[in-house]
Amino acid sequence: MKLISSTKAILGVAFFTSLLVLNVASAAPPDAAAGKVKAQTCFACHGENGISVSPDIPNLAAQPPLSITYQLIQFRGQQRKGGAMEALAAGLSDQDMRDIAAYYSALPPPPAQSGNADLIAKGQQISSTQYCNSCHGPQLQGQKHIARLAGQSPEYLIAQLKNIRSGARVDMDGTMGSAARGLSDGDIEALAAYAASLK
Amino acid sequence: MKLKTIHAVMFAAGVVVTALASAQAPAPAPASGIPPTWAQGRTADGMNPSLAPNPPGISAMPADEIPTSKLKVPAGFKIELWASGMPNGRSMTESPSGTVYVGTRFTGNVYAVVTKDGKREVKTIAKGLHRPNGVAFSNGSLYVAELSRIIRYDNIEQNLDNPPAPVVVFDALPKDEPHGWKFMTLSPDGKYLYFQIGTPANIVVPPYTHAAIVRLNLKTNILEYVATGVRNSVGMDFQKGTKELWFTNNGRDWADENLPNDTLNRLARPKGMNFGYPFCHQGDFLDPEFGKGRSCEEFDKPEMNLGAHVAALGMRFYNGNMFPAEYKGNIFIAEHGSWNKTKKSGYQVVRVVLDSKNKPVKLEPFVTGWLDGENFWGRPVDVQMLKDGSMLVSDDETGAIFRVSYGK
């Protein structure tokens, strides 16, 4: 009897604790539906389905949500430059960014892109020696705040890797800077072809 | 015979010329890449390979969402949210007038927190700096340690809303990003800025310029080394009375889930101490790779082990009058929290008690609650004692500062 009531008490406490936890965590949950509304401006370039309209613009579909949020925060803070993106991000709140990220991250990933088989094989080899999957994941699908590279536009990847190599794009902690330093133009093209070929 | 010698000399000269010529040519791409710094030292047969660093906190949590009530302090103490809205706010220093300056690692900002009529106002006084993690205040000037240079904002207190352009004090520091951000503090005599130059990798025989604590003479601008074999110290403070520098040091990753410890260290001699990195860690743990043929007896030992992977960062002595008498002279250390460990540890502020012989004898949690199971909502980076005897704790995940007080 006593056992049952104390069990009940424990369950009750556990229930309320979990409610509290939920309350705290859900003070501002990322909202994909709200994100879709807020992302209307993004559609013209990044597509409603997260597949971009032009090869020099990145696909956002299935990007890890934190990766999108982090890039938007860096555009807003002028730490990353990217055409119109600084101005577009300037008016977004953290919550807007989380919502937009929730929308794009939930979309089906971009299709794998075919390419020159030799180039793809070379890219896979370089990806392995450069430890790309240490951060970007085994299939370069991204994780946490690290971008998804699988199915990304190769033209975009080439431009970004060259910018990182030259220092024109400063990455957050220097990891990509040191990774890109030793890459030749040919290496970069191969890596981009390989990443684009993944799903 | 003579001819042979001449030939040999010519050959050697030829080799030198060739070597010089290739030194002038652009560096060739390395045959294979190196792993990202954090993954360096990871072995196939070693620890859980899925471990990876936590994403850094680069945005500020709105004040009304910060779950301050989850933080726990010992009975009689109180913890409250003191200031918020500082993305990635990390190292702190208090000026004589009570302004608290806050450096950052990822957002490039420096903040000033001013208290007016009991309310705090946060001003962003610098933007676009490169890893301005270290802050120190002296003679009306704010010194900021960026990744590779020290800069100074003169008469900053009178110009918080319109800060002057910084004066470059010293700009010849290494540019390595890994462990390149600095913790900085002023010596008690005001003559030197002390800061670390961390090792450029997880575990490597570093260039002699790195894995050290250095000091910059503010009058002569001469930089000198005060301690070597220090992997990366992101917290230091001078002890009142002895005027000795104590500092935390972060241990290497990927050796073991429970080894080596982060450490608390004392600069017993003003120069020449070597704390062992990369050969020996925590004074008695030979490095699995670099320790071969070496002995820990070659090196100076830490004062205390703090736990493996806890990321012991900011530390300060408690010299204030607000906390109970037994806290006088204690050391408080902010543990940023682990990533290279399957079960998370750290994510708290700990208290270290010294005995009458000045030896650390007790280590216990002081502020906890940032870690909820295996999830964290905040990460303490630095502790700063205020003139009123209370203690601030910065948190770069929420972009907030908490205040611990006692009584009333």
A4 in any annotated domain: no
Residue B403 confidence class, pLDDT cut points 50, 70, 90: very high
Do A124 and A167 reside in the same domain of the chain?
yes
Residue B2 confidence class, pLDDT cut points 50, 70, 90: very low
Give pLDDT, residue B5: 46
B267 pLDDT exceeds 50?
yes
A15 in any annotated domain: no
Give pLDDT, residue B408: 65
Which among B30, B35, B377 is the nearest to A182, CB-wise?
A: B30
Residue A2 confidence class, pLDDT cut points 50, 70, 90: very low
Taking only the tens place, the pLDDT of each residue in A59-81 is 999 999 999 999 999 999 888 98
Give pLDDT, residue A19: 36
Do A82 and A142 reside in the same domain of the chain?
no
Which residues of chain B neighbour A21 with C-beta distances below 8 Å? 372
Return the residue of B nearest to A145 by Cα.
B55
Q: Do A172 and B70 touch (CB under 8 A)?
A: no
Could you tell me which of B289, B399, B392 has the C-alpha nearest to residue B56? B399
- Dmax of chain A from CA atoms? 75
B116 pLDDT exceeds 50?
yes
Give pLDDT, residue A171: 83
Do A69 and A130 reside in the same domain of the chain?
no
Are the CB atoms for A181 and A122 separated by under 8 Å? Answer: no
Residues above pLDDT 90, as percent of chain B: 89
From A105, A128, A146, the end of a domain falls on: A105
Give chain A's domain count: 2
Bridge-based pairing of strands B223-228 and B273-274 is parallel
User: What is the three-class DSSP state of B196?
Assistant: strand
Which residues of chain A neighbour B34 with C-beta distances below 8 Å? 131, 178
Do A132 and A161 reside in the same domain of the chain?
yes
- DSSP sequence for B51-104: --PPPPP-SPPPGGG--GGG-B--TTEEEEEEE---TTEEEEEE-TTSPEEEEE
Return the residue of A nearest to B376 by Cα.
A25
- DSSP sequence for B229-282: S-S----EEEPTTT--EEEEEPPPSSSBTTBSEEEEEE--SSS-EE--TTTEET
Could you tell me which of A169, A191, A165 has the C-alpha nearest to residue A178? A165
Which among B29, B36, B176 is the nearest to A135, CB-wise?
A: B36
Give pLDDT, residue B362: 98
Q: Do A24 and B70 touch (CB under 8 A)?
A: yes
B3 pLDDT exceeds 60?
no
Residues above pLDDT 70, as percent of chain B: 92
CB contacts < 8 A, A to B, total 78
Q: What is the mean pLDDT of chain B?
A: 92
Q: Do A77 and B67 touch (CB under 8 A)?
A: no
Q: Do B177 and A175 touch (CB under 8 A)?
A: yes
Return the residue of A nearest to B109 by Cα.
A77
- DSSP sequence for A19-47: HHHHHHHTSS---HHHHHHHTHHHHHHH-
A22 pLDDT exceeds 70?
no
| Full residue range of the structural domain in which residue A80 is found | 32-105
A144 in any annotated domain: yes
Q: Do B33 and A182 touch (CB under 8 A)?
A: yes
A98 in any annotated domain: yes
Give pLDDT, residue B167: 98
Can you tell me which residue has the tokens 């906890």? B368
A21 in any annotated domain: no
Are the CB atoms for B76 and B324 separated by under 8 Å? Answer: yes
B373 pLDDT exceeds 90?
yes
A11 in any annotated domain: no
- In the chain, the amino acid numbered A140 is L
CATH architecture of B49-406: 6 Propeller (2.120)
Taking only the tens place, the pLDDT of each residue in A147-198 is 999 999 999 999 999 999 999 998 888 889 888 988 999 999 999 999 999 9
From A85, A105, A125, the end of a domain falls on: A105
Choice among A173-187, B219-233, B295-309 with the minimum mean pLDDT: A173-187
Q: How far is A181 from chain B (nearest CA, A)?
A: 8
**Would you state the structure tokens that stand for residue A43, as one six-digit string?**
């559609």
Taking only the tens place, the pLDDT of each residue in A91-146 is 999 999 999 999 999 999 999 999 999 999 999 999 999 999 999 999 999 999 99
Mean pLDDT along residues B376-384: 98
Residues above pLDDT 70, as percent of chain A: 86
CA-based radius of gyration for chain A: 21
User: What is the three-class DSSP state of A65?
Assistant: helix
Q: Do A79 and B108 touch (CB under 8 A)?
A: yes
Q: Do B36 and A27 touch (CB under 8 A)?
A: no
